[in-house]
Amino acid sequence: MVSIIGGGPIGCYAGFNLAKHHDVKIYEEDKEIGKPVQCTGIVTNNIPRQIYSEDYIINKISEAEIISPNKNSIVVDLRNNNLVLDRHKFDNFIAEKAKENGAKIFFNKKLTGLNKNELRFNDLTTTDDFIIGADGPFSKTAKESGLFRKRIFLAGKQARIKGNFNSERMKIYLGIGSFSGVVPESNKIARVVSINYKNINEDFNRLLKLEKGEIIEKQGGMIPLYNPKLKISGGNVFLAGDAATQVKATTFGGIIPGLIAAEEFSKGFNNYETRVNKKIRKELLLNLMIRKKLDGFNDKKYNELVELFSQEKLRTIIGNYDRDFPSKFVMRLLLKEPRLLKFIP
Ligand SMILES: Cc1cc2nc3c(=O)[nH]c(=O)nc-3n(C[C@H](O)[C@H](O)[C@H](O)COP(=O)(O)OP(=O)(O)OC[C@H]3O[C@@H](n4cnc5c(N)ncnc54)[C@H](O)[C@@H]3O)c2cc1C
């Protein structure tokens, strides 16, 4: 029997995979799935086919504009469209799939304590054989099982704004916070987001000056920085998603890496950590190394970087590969342009 803590996309996808062979219970602290939304909802098209649906995709992005502090910009054609998700629908879609496979979801159940097989919730104490922590960045499961260790967090602030946008193009502003971007839902509505370790309001206000529009909704949340030293399993406890810090440290996308990890539960619990590491550790580590390099950049460095990427041969490489797997293209970039060595770890 398996208890999954957290009914986010990763917990529900873990439930979907495990419920084929196990009795699965998903415990969610909120009263419904997918609210509040704390995510910009842009992903590559690497959503597992078993949970892919056009129903939750509200836009497809075919270009990325990368803008330097001196307002120079390059446009990258994305060979594979990026997808803009309705996160509420996306989360609920996966939850329904988990239920179809037999998983049971319980609401208003906040994990407050964990001792080996005993789980304590706000209004329930129960026991189970296997426990999965998919309870987000501040995972109580990780804390209670000694897997939390030291973690670094970034704050994300975002808004949906009304204005005029190119619906096929997302924008990335280099030099504003750790990450700032604009993701259009349509040519009238876009999501603007800034992410940084601190002073997030400053970054966000700078971004809003560049991307003018009427704010129709404000959102935000915390993002864990990938920690390669973490153990993501111990005894009968297994972590996945934000609870395991499985977030790309370049763009702070956590949905695809988390889903890749959760898919490993389809093969059961044996060697879960080894299998997950084999699939995503190298990529997350490379993202982290790039992040550490970027953290030391000033405006001049970003301007130089965009200048280098004005070369079509480099733009083609980054447009042809998904950012989920940087190891597939970083070497190719370096071979084409050795001057990138000083920008890439
Ligand atoms: C501002 C912002 C923008 C982002 N933009 C993107 C993006 O564009 N693309 C992308 O890929 N990623 C993005 N992310 C990251 C992405 O949102 C996460 O990586 C993703 O939601 C991780 O899913 P999860 O299921 O692991 O965790 P969550 O989605 O956080 O789900 C965890 C669930 O656990 C529940 N829970 C928590 N504690 C308990 C408890 N004690 N007991 C029971 N239940 C509990 C929560 O209520 C929640 O439902 C963004 C994050 C932020 C903050």
Q: What is the pLDDT along the chain (345 residues), one digit of tens a residue?
A: 999 999 999 999 999 999 999 999 999 999 999 999 999 999 999 999 999 999 999 999 999 999 999 999 999 999 999 999 999 999 999 999 999 999 999 999 999 999 999 999 999 999 999 999 999 999 999 999 999 999 999 999 999 999 999 999 999 999 999 999 999 999 999 999 999 999 999 999 999 999 989 999 999 999 999 999 999 999 999 999 999 999 999 999 999 999 999 999 999 999 999 999 999 999 999 999 999 999 999 999 999 999 999 999 999 999 999 888 888 898 899 889 989 888 776
What is the Å distance from ligand 1's center to 237 Cα?
19
Residue nearest to atom 39 of ligand 1 (CA): 135
Q: What pLDDT was estimated at residue 343? A: 79
Residue nearest to atom 49 of ligand 1 (CA): 8
Greatest C-alpha distance within the chain? 60
What is the Å distance from ligand 1's center to 73 Cα?
31
Query: Which atom of ligand 1 is least distant from the CA of 27?
Result: 43
What is the Å distance from ligand 1's center to 85 Cα?
14
CATH of domain 2-293: 3.50.50.60
Q: β-pairing, 130-133 with 2-5?
A: parallel
Cα(316)–Cα(208) distance, integer angstroms: 30
Residue of 28, 135, 218, 250 to test ligand 1 pocket, by largest number of atoms within 8 Å of CB: 135
Phi then psi for residue 16, to 5 deg, are -55, -45
Predicted TM-score of the model (pTM): 0.97
First to last CA, the chain: 44
Cβ(276) to ligand 1 under 6 A?
A: no
Classified as helix, coil or strand, 178 is: coil
Residue of 223, 230, 265 to test ligand 1 pocket, by largest number of atoms within 8 Å of CB: 223
Both tokens of 308, joined, read 């280098």
Cβ(223) to ligand 1 under 6 A?
A: yes
Instruction: Quickly tell me which residue has 């490379």 as its tokens.
Output: 286
Q: What pLDDT was estimated at residue 341? A: 85
Question: Closest Cα partner for 240 from 320, 159, 137, 103?
Answer: 137
Residue nearest to atom 29 of ligand 1 (CA): 8
- Which residues pair with residue 136 across a beta bridge? none
Cβ(134) to ligand 1 under 6 A?
A: yes
Q: What pLDDT was estimated at residue 345? A: 66
Cβ(114) to ligand 1 under 6 A?
A: no
The CATH 3.50.50.60 domain(s) of the chain lie at 2-293
What is the Å distance from ligand 1's center to 38 Cα?
7
Q: What pLDDT was estimated at residue 77? A: 96
Residue of 27, 29, 178 to test ligand 1 pocket, by largest number of atoms within 8 Å of CB: 29
Show Cβ contacts of residue 70 under 8 Å, excluding neighbours closer than 6 positions: 299, 303
What are the angstrom distances between the C-alpha of 84 and each of 56, 66, 78, 100, 213? 9, 18, 14, 25, 19
Tally of residues, the chain: 345
Query: Which atom of ligand 1 is least distant from the CA of 11?
Result: 25
CB count within 10 Å of CB 186 equals 11
Residue nearest to atom 31 of ligand 1 (CA): 8
Cα(310)–Cα(307) distance, integer angstroms: 5
- Which residues pair with residue 220 across a beta bridge? 157
What is the Å distance from ligand 1's center to 243 Cα?
9
Cα(28)–Cα(104) distance, integer angstroms: 11
Amino acid residing at 100: E
Cβ(178) to ligand 1 under 6 A?
A: no
Query: Which atom of ligand 1 is least distant from the CA of 30?
Result: 47
